[in-house]
Each structure stands twice: as C-alpha cells, then as structure tokens.
Amino acid sequence: MTRESLDVDVLIVGGGPAGLSAALRLAQLQKEKGGERLSIAVLEKAREAGAHILSGAILDLSTLRDLIPDYADKGAPFAAEVHHDAVYFFTQTSKLSFPIIPPPLRNHGNAIISLNALVRWLSAQVEAEGIDLFSGFAAQDILMDGSRVIGVRTGDRGIGKRGEQKPNFEAGVDIRAKVTIFCDGVRGNLTKELLRRLQLGKDRAPEVFALGIKELWDVPADRMAAGTVFHTMGYPLRQEEFGGGFVYAMPEGRLSVGFVVGLDYKDPLFDPHMAFNRFKQHPFMQTLLEGGQMVRYGAKALPEGGWNAVPQPYMDGGLIAGDAGGFVNALRLKGIHLAMRTGMLAAETAFDAIRAGDTSASSLKRYQDRIDASPVRAELYPVRNVHQAFSYGLFAGMAFAGVSLFTRGWWVKDLQAHPGHERMEKLQSHPTSIPPPRNATTIDRRLTFDKVTNVHFSGTAHDEDQPPHLQVHTEVCSSICGDEYGHPCLRFCPANVYEIVHEADGTPRLQINASNCVHCKTCDIIDPYQVITWVPPEGGGGPQYNGM
Amino acid sequence: MILVIAEQRDGRLNRATWETLAAAQMLAGGMPITIVVLGAAPGNVAQELAAAGVGEVLVATNRALDPYTPDAYVMALGGLIRSVLPTYVLLPHTYQARDFAPMLAARLNKPLVTDVTAVTGTGTGATFTRLMFQGKLVAQVRPTGEPPWFVTFQIGAFRADAVRKGPAASITKTDVTIDPTLIRQKPEPPVQAVKQAVDLSQAERIVAVGRGIKSEENIPIAKKLAEAMGAELAASRPICDNGWLPMERQVGSSGQTVAPKLYVALGISGAIQHLVGMKGARTIVAINKDAEAPIFEVADYGIVGDLFEIVPAMIVELEKEK
C-alpha cells in the first residue's frame, strides 16, 4: 500500500485552545527571532475548527492577554462580561444562596464565551500566520522510533463496516516531525497511548475526570441579564457524588445551562444525563427555562485530577499540553487559559529545542521548568488535593477546599486518589435505598429530553458505513456485567451509544450505535472493566457544535 | 393547440409522459393536442402514443438529438414551436425537462410554470397550482403575455391511467434543424452513480420499518405490504445498522430525506433523527404499539396496535382492490 508522508518541524495534534496557542506562539517566535522558517502543521479531527469542542464557558483572560495583547481589536468573540455571580445550594424544592461567593468561583472581569467561537477565531489567527491547519484529519497512531516520538499517522478514509476498503478508500498519511505537541484534549486517544507506552503517569496520582453535559437555551430576553453567572451544588446529587450545575447568561436570552458530574461516582445505577434532567426540573430552573427552547446539546469529559495527576509532559520528540495533560483548575472550573498557557510554553520549548538541534527528552524537559515557573503551577499547586478531598463527600470536600485556600495548599500529606472507574461499586454492594437520582424521571421533550433527541441537537454525524470507533474487547456484556453493574454503559453514556439487546434465548448483547457518539470520552474513562477504547472515527465525523 | 413534449430514451417512453397527457386532456377544453417525440431514432414510441386520443403525433428526428444535450433539444424544439405556434407547451417535470425547459422558455422569452400539481379551469383561462417554499405555501399561477406558455407537471400529480384513449392519431415525421457546432455539451456515456441503487427521494409511496419489526425474519411482512401498495421499502437506522435492510434504504438524518405522498411507518417510534428525514411526506400513517411514541405527533393517521395483526389485514384488503 502506498502511503503518503509529510515532514514538518513541529506537528501539533489537536486544534483546540492549547494546539492553536502553540501554533500562534511558534509563529510569533519565528518573527521575533528570525532564522530559517519552521514548518508547522496542526491536525484537527473536526471538519472545521472548534466543531468538536465544548465548554461552559467562562474565560480567564490572563493568557489571552499575553498571547494576543490586541485581542479586542482583532475581534475576539466574547458573549458577555461577567457582572453578577452567585452560588446556590439546591435542595429538592428550594435553594439557599451562599452568603459569600467562595473566591475561586468569583468571576468578575472574566468573559462568558462560546468556546466554539473562540477556537474558530483562534484558528483564523493561526491561518493568517500561514500555518497549515488540517481539519477533518484525525491522528490515529503515534509513530515511534524506540522511545522517541517521530510523528503520527492519520486515520484511513473509506473503510467499510466490516473493515473492507470502499471505492473511496484513501490511506492515512504519515506526518513526521522533530517535535510533536500532543493537544488531543481530555483523554486524548494518543496521549492515553503515550502514557501507557512510556509510563509517563508513573509516580503520579491517577487521573480523575468529570463529565459535563450542556444545553443552550433561548429564553425570553428579559429573563436574566447577560453576564449573570451562577453555580449550584447539592440536588440532584447526593453527598457521595461530586459535581453541580451552572447557568451562564448571554445576550438576547441565550443561556448556557450545564451540569458537571465527577466520573468517580459509586452507584452503578447513577445516570449523569438523568441528573441533568432532574437539575432542570428543580423549581428554580423550571421557572428560569419556562417558555424557552433548547437549541443545542453536547457533552464532554473534563480532567479534574489536578496538579498531582499531571503526567510527565515531555518525552523524546514530544510534549503534552492542555486538557490532554490535565491542566485544569477543578476548583475554579477553568482550564482554557491553562490550556492556552501550556500550549505557549510547549511552543517556546519546541522552538528552542529545534534551534539548538536537540529535541530529546533532556532538552524538552525545559517545558517542565517553564511550567513550574509559570502561573500554571502557581494556580494548580495550592488546590492539588481538592477533587480528591471531595471523594470523602461533599461537605468534607468543601471544608477541605476552604482550608486549602487558607493555607495556600499546605497540607501534611497529599491525599490518595483512585481512578474513577475503580470507585464504581457493584449492584450488590451499593446501598439499595433509592434516592432521587436513581429514579426514572419524566421526559416531556420541552424541559427534559431523552438522550436520542438530545444527540440530534449536537449535530452529530458520522458515515454509518465504517467500523465502530468504540472498541469493546470483551464478552463481559453478555456474561457478568448485567449482574455485577447492571450494564452501566446504558447510563454513563450521554449520547445513547450503548444499547443492550436481547437475543432470542435472552442473552444480552451489546449493540454499539457509534454514529451517536459526541466524542466525550466518558466510556473510555469510567467503564468499570476498562474494556472500552475510544479511537477516532473517520476524520470529520462527530458533533457539529456551534455556539457551545 | 397544446403541444406535449414526450420523453424517451433508447426508444423507451418515460411513463411520466402519460401523466402529462392526462393533464393536457384536463386542460384542453376542446383545444387539439399534439405530441412531439424527439430523438435520433425514437423507435415505436410514436405508435404507442398515437393511441392517446390526441390529434397528431410529430416525430422530430435528427442525429444530433442522440445523446441528449440541452442545446440540441432547445434548437430542435425552438424551431418547431416557432412553426406550430401552440398555446401551451407541456412537459413532465423530469430531470431532463428541468435541464432544458428553462433554457427553451428563456430562449423564446416565454413564461414557464414549473412542477404543477393541479389545474383548474380549461384553455387559456386555466390556473395552475404549485407548491412553494418546500410545500409550506401553495401558489396559484396564471401565465400572461403572448403564448406559448410552458408548464411542467409534478411526477405523480396526475394519473397515467386517466388518459382517455382514442382512435389512432396520424403520425407525421418532421426533420428539425440543429447546427451541431452550436452544441456546447459533450456527454460521456452514462455511468452508474456510487451504488445508491434506490432513490427513495423519488418514491411516491414508502413503507418504512423500525425496531417494532423485531427480527430480520419479519421483514418480508413489510415487504409484502410495500408490494401490495406499490411502495418502496425503507427503514429507520437500527434496521439498516443490523444489516436487515441495506443502508441505502435508511431514512433519517444519517440516511435519505424523503417526501413521498404516502409514508407508512411500521413500528417506528419516531426519534427526531428519523422524523427529519420523512416529515415532508404528504400523508403519514403510523402503526405502533406505544401510544406515547413521538411518531404519532407527526402522523396524519395513527393506529395504536400490533403491526403483526394490522399489516396482514391491510395486505388482504389491498389485494381485494386489485
């Protein structure tokens, strides 16, 4: 088979905030320092920049100010400036306001944004620098020479359901680079593979994740002033679940309504999407959304492991930046500015290393030094134990979060964490009392939606005639999973990808509706047997987020 | 006089021509009808059409008419229309007519009313009905100015079997002049498009099956109903995903978008992904066990019940009609 190849100096895998900031920073360094022009390529699996990205989102402007000081003149798309903050504690029927807003949740001066719009704008800045942005191309495999990363291979196109080549078959391309910067996002398929092959997570805390589910709503324009932001804790979650809801108000009655749940819950019957529906059914939310219309839907996992879970972010020929490396402040619910910052630092490191002619791990280790000297460590280190503390329950977590801030993170001993999937309990061992989140809730297709209807509003589309990009290497679905966990995939997936159908003899069989997948990575993270592997589908397939 | 332009390829008549003839007879109100058949060698199409109860069948031959090109057709028909001066020029709204009719009308600077679904009145006072904005609005159109007026008729809007047959009409051969140097298109031999064997978007009637069909062994039940109705068989995603029907029969956001006159949904719950592919159907009949299924929100006729009881009963009734 003939396979085309392409050689570049720097290859950036993933056109999100980290990857695009890295590309832009490289172009800036090129201009500042002159010399032979570096060739740079950015790979993005979405058909157009920003279409697969999803966030709340509130942007801390600090990194953007450093990267593009004249961002306002260049038309950075902000929906509104935050001018009103609130934090509520929900019970089933009422809400309590926090008398003071905990400092990490104060957002005055930050901007409410659509991350799709911001990324699209960033990609235009990158393309204006003459950098090649290959959208619609998914990086499928890492190319390695021993322990050295030498590039990636993009996915083949035109492979049929049963693995056969279709008439439009096109082999993937090998892209070789002196430095590859992995910005493949939360639970990136290549970063996951790097961590495994090069043991980059050794001696670090296990990664911890959460799942964010979000809808955009159009409500009457006078319902809530643009720039209003609130976060909720409590109902419908129990003490044992970590997470909460949010509403960010944008102009013209557009609301970003979301719910985040730690992907380390114990109850195998817990359903994050149902919790989101229950959140919307809270009387306060019902009043807010009354008469409005849901216009978009999406879901995405987010890293919450914090500083101690960040893997070694450098290796021979490679660097890891952004969500792929877990650079998120879970307490502030913010990571975009850290993704951008680590992207910039990775670019600076790669640039120096290529100029010096040494792109080995010992040269690229400067990336770690740069991070340690940057606002990234300053922000993440003090709160390094916070998500872990919440594993002891909501109130313990809140108390701990308070103490952390007070002591600037000093603590006798770092808290132990467990990978989220290990915390899920079997049906028999989880208490059988049935608190609210376990009951089915009503779906009225006005306020609450079933997953299939929601998926439609994510714009998700894949070529149906391709191998499933969710690889499940197991028979447990037919054998023990039903008894042990009651098929949790039916509940943890927010897009109805997994279905259990029963054969004529009653044997359960897993049916994978891969074309529903919104690329949130939840299944890859939380499946208790760790048998689901998310790989990229044919390039371009996936959600079509817009305004999210 | 009404001139009907027949459509033939390789000596085979496109059956939509009969529908246009039915429309012509409704419209005529005493006006004589002439049919014109074009081609290098249109075979026996003229004899077939002579039985249609029309005044005359013209056979316009020229070697440059085969293979079809819009330029050759416009030259041939332009000259012919100028010499016979019909009041109306009628065509079926086929792909071919869509290709050359606008150019022909523009060349003669005459009005063209397209995709007409109904005619009221006769002769020069007739009004034509056509759908606008994807069927959301209905427009009544009356051409003005000097005839001839061009009208194309939607496929399926008139019944081919409604044509009143009559004594065999005279067949007149006529040569048309075409300057081959003015033909700007050079067609390649036709190729089979990437194996989209069924074009559901052209189907007038569709029987679609969903999960309620339960197993592959039950597909023939739906197939039999489709045959009895003269309908195409289609399916929702899970059916094609299981390989019970080929993917090209899938209707919905990841399949085809269809707008038949009649859509019978068997055991389809009506997920929004399916609805977006078929809600343009004129009449939707839904059969589903679950009275709460969202398909009933878009259905014109709904039967809450077991499709395995209802469908065989429908087949029996349909067979009686035959």
A-chain CB neighbours of B255 within 8 Å are: 464
* Mean pLDDT value of segment A147-155: 96
Residue in B250, B254, B271 nearest the CB of A461: B254
Residue in A456, A513, A515 nearest the CB of B272: A456
Smallest CA-to-CA distance from A135 within A112, A117, A119, A151 is with A119
Smallest CA-to-CA distance from A239 within A218, A208, A270 is with A270
A-chain CB neighbours of B294 within 8 Å are: 445
For domain B200-321, give the CATH superfamily: TPP-binding domain (3.40.50.1220)
Rounded-to-integer distance, Cα B231 and Cα A106, Å = 62
A-chain CB neighbours of B273 within 8 Å are: 452, 455-456
Q: Is residue A186 part of a domain?
A: yes
Rounded-to-integer distance, Cα A226 and Cα A105, Å = 18
CA distance A125 to chain B (A): 33
Residue pLDDT, tens place only, A85-94: 999 999 999 9
Chains A and B form CB pairs within 8 A to the count of: 31
pLDDT at A352 over 90: yes
Residue pLDDT, tens place only, A165-207: 998 888 999 999 999 999 999 999 999 999 999 999 999 999 9
A-chain CB neighbours of B240 within 8 Å are: 464
Rounded-to-integer distance, Cα B150 and Cα A350, Å = 69
Residue B134, Ramachandran bin (φ over 0: left; ψ between -120 and 50: alpha; else beta): left
Q: Is residue A104 part of a domain?
A: no
Residue pLDDT, tens place only, A535-546: 999 988 999 999
User: Is residue A402 very low, low, confident or very high in pLDDT (cuts 50, 70, 90)?
Assistant: low
Residues in chain B with pLDDT < 70? 134-136, 192-197
Q: What is the pLDDT of residue A403?
A: 60
Q: Is residue A107 part of a domain?
A: no
**For residue A436, how many other CB atoms are within 10 A of its CB?**
14
Q: What is the pLDDT of residue B193?
A: 57
Q: What is the pLDDT of residue A505?
A: 87
Q: Do B241 and A445 touch (CB under 8 A)?
A: no
B-chain CB neighbours of A504 within 8 Å are: 215
CA distance B23 to chain A (A): 42
What's the N-to-C CA distance of chain B in angstroms?
37
Q: Do A464 and B247 touch (CB under 8 A)?
A: yes
Looking at A224-228, A395-399, B166-170, which range is the least confident one? A395-399
Assigned CATH class of B2-182? alpha beta
DSSP state of B282: S
Partners of A95 in the β-ladder: A90
Residue in B194, B272, B276 nearest the CB of A167: B194
Look up residue A84 and give its amino acid: H
Domain segments of chain B: what residues?
Answer: 2-182, 200-321
Q: Is residue A379 part of a domain?
A: yes
For the entire predicted model, the pTM comes to 0.77
Q: Is residue A44 part of a domain?
A: yes
Q: Which residue has the higher pLDDT, B130 or A397?
A: B130
* Mean pLDDT value of segment A417-425: 85
Residue in B237, B247, B276 nearest the CB of A465: B247
Choose the mutation target among B217, B273, B276 for the interface with A, i.e. most A CBs under 10 Å.
B273
Q: Is residue A316 part of a domain?
A: yes
Look up residue B282 and give its amino acid: R
B-chain CB neighbours of A465 within 8 Å are: 247
Can you say how many angstroms the Cα of residue B116 is from the centroid of all Cα atoms in its chain?
11
Q: What is the CATH number of the domain that holds A199?
A: 3.50.50.60
Q: Is residue A524 part of a domain?
A: no
A-chain CB neighbours of B250 within 8 Å are: 464
Residue in A445, A504, A515 nearest the CB of B254: A515
Choose the mutation target among A464, A465, A497, A510 for the interface with B, i.e. most B CBs under 10 Å.
A464
Q: What is the pLDDT of residue A332?
A: 86
DSSP state of B315: H
Instruction: Say how many domains are in chain A.
Output: 1
Q: Do A452 and B276 touch (CB under 8 A)?
A: no
What's the N-to-C CA distance of chain A in angstroms?
40
Q: Which residue has the higher pLDDT, B301 or A393?
A: B301
Alpha helices by DSSP H, listed for chain B, are 16-28, 45-50, 70-84, 95-108, 219-229, 237-241, 272-278, 295-298, 307-321
Per the CB < 8 A criterion, the answer to whether A411 and A404 are in contact is yes
CB of A442 within 8 Å of a chain B CB? The answer is no
* Mean pLDDT value of segment A285-295: 96
Residue of B nearest to A167 (CA): B194
A-chain CB neighbours of B254 within 8 Å are: 461-462, 464, 515
**Which residue do the tokens 């430095």 mark?**
A179
Domain ranges, residue A63: 5-69+117-206+307-383
Which residues 459-518 in chain A show a CB within 8 A of chain B? 461-462, 464-465, 504, 511, 513, 515
Q: Is residue A86 part of a domain?
A: no
Q: Do B241 and A513 touch (CB under 8 A)?
A: yes
Say yes or no: ipTM exceeds 0.95.
Answer: no
